[in-house]
Amino acid sequence: MERADERRVVAGVSGTLGSLTALHRAAAEARRTDAVLRAVLAWSPPGGELGQRSQPWPELLTECRRVAGDRLLRAVDTAFGATGPGVPMETLVVRGTPGVALIAATNGPEDLLVVGAGARGGLRRALHPSVARYCLAHATCPVLAVPPSPLQDDIASVHRRISWHMPLNARELAD
């Protein structure tokens, strides 16, 4: 049962390296402030909410919710392993867009919202609005935007080098 006066550090989790970095920072903040860590994963039905309204399929929604829950648990396990985060933790799977879900997962000004502030290219920004920017504009609690892990650039660089040197037929097989 949730207490209204309980402090929370809420972190958005998707399983990406950036979200795992933010989750680790959120756990450190929860330890520092003696708060509960709340890991939140937002999901939307295939085709979005409009598609679901025009052709509802309850079994698909149930399966999507289950898959989202599994993804959240895998991300938490990837981040902390069997030892866990070292603080009390709640996991929450929310149907909706990430920014709205994260704002709804906070309880007020005593909470802290931790989001990843990943690198953003022009095309990516046009197709996927910034969750961090949305949270900064709408949250009633402090928001901590965590920069990407330095390892993220190293991983991307290695991936580019491997892809560049692959023969054409191997690239076709990788797709």
pLDDT digits (tens, 9 = 90+) for 71-130: 999 999 999 999 999 999 999 999 999 999 999 999 999 999 999 876 555 555 555 668
Q: Does residue 173 surpass a pLDDT of 60?
A: no
**Per-residue pLDDT at 57:** 66
- pTM for this model (two decimals): 0.78
The residue with tokens 């003696």 is 34
The residue with tokens 């648990």 is 73
**Reduced to 3 states, what is the DSSP secondary structure of residue 175?**
coil
CATH superfamily for domain 8-149: HUPs (3.40.50.620)
Mean of the pLDDT values across residues 166-175?
51
- Span 15-42, pLDDT tens digits: 888 899 999 999 999 999 999 999 999 9
The residue with tokens 């049962």 is 1
**Per-residue pLDDT at 127:** 59
Residue ranges per structural domain of the chain: 8-149
> What is the Cβ-side half-sphere exposure of residue 87, based on CA atoms within 13 angstroms?
25
Cα separation, 101 vs 73, in Å, equals 17
**Reduced to 3 states, what is the DSSP secondary structure of residue 70?**
helix
Identify the DSSP state of 145.
E
User: Please, what's the b/e burial string for 7-26 (b: 16 or more CB within 10 A of its CB; e: otherwise)?
Assistant: bbbbbbbbbebbbbbbbbbb
